[in-house]
Amino acid sequence: MSVSNVLATRPAAVLLAVVGIGVHAFNHVTVVVQDVWRLVATPEAASFNPGTVYHPISAVLYAWLATTVHSGRNGGRIAITVLLACQAVGRYFVFVSYPEVEVRADLVTGWAMSAVVLCLLWIPEASRRHFAKRAA
């Protein structure tokens, strides 16, 4: 199947949502790289926290969910919705714990991107039809 055929069979909203999910995956990979870099550069300053476990696992999970959403699996759409909702709650606690402007800016843009992804997956009629086709 050519690229033009894939683009023709997927609603634009779904494709944009998949890109947003991929950006989430990439962001989690960058956090893992930062953690590893910190461990190598200054092991005495490195720490173990819940994110040390969460980020590598969720990077893989986001990448997998992007493929399932792209293929039209409604279960993938539901799973990414649950994941983004849980992550929104987690971001709140990080927001409260880290008052640095850079951290809070990252969190707010992540919230916004998650909201856009969810809207793209659930609101447009073309998106709903895309997931309904696969369920039928």
pLDDT, one tens digit per residue, over 47-98 is: 777 878 888 999 999 999 999 999 999 999 999 999 999 999 989 998 999 9
For tokens 């944009």, what's the residue? Answer: 16
Q: What percent of the chain has pLDDT over 70?
A: 92
Q: What percent of the chain has pLDDT over 90?
A: 68
Instruction: Write the DSSP symbol of residue 55.
Output: H
Mean pLDDT of the chain: 89
The pLDDT-based confidence of 34 (bands split at 50, 70, 90) is confident
Q: What is the token pair recorded at 59?
A: 């990077």
* pLDDT for res 7: 52
In the chain, the number of structural domains is 1
What are the two backbone dihedrals, phi and then psi, of residue 57, each rounded to the nearest 5 degrees?
A: -65, -45
Instruction: Write the DSSP symbol of residue 59.
Output: H
DSSP-assigned letters across all residues of 14-76: HHHHHHHHHHHHHHHHHHHHHHHHHHHH-TTT----HHHHHHHHHHHHHHHHHHHHHTT-HHH
* pLDDT for res 63: 96
Residue range(s) defining the domain that contains residue 25: 3-135
Distance (Å, rounded) from C-alpha 71 to C-alpha 69?
A: 5
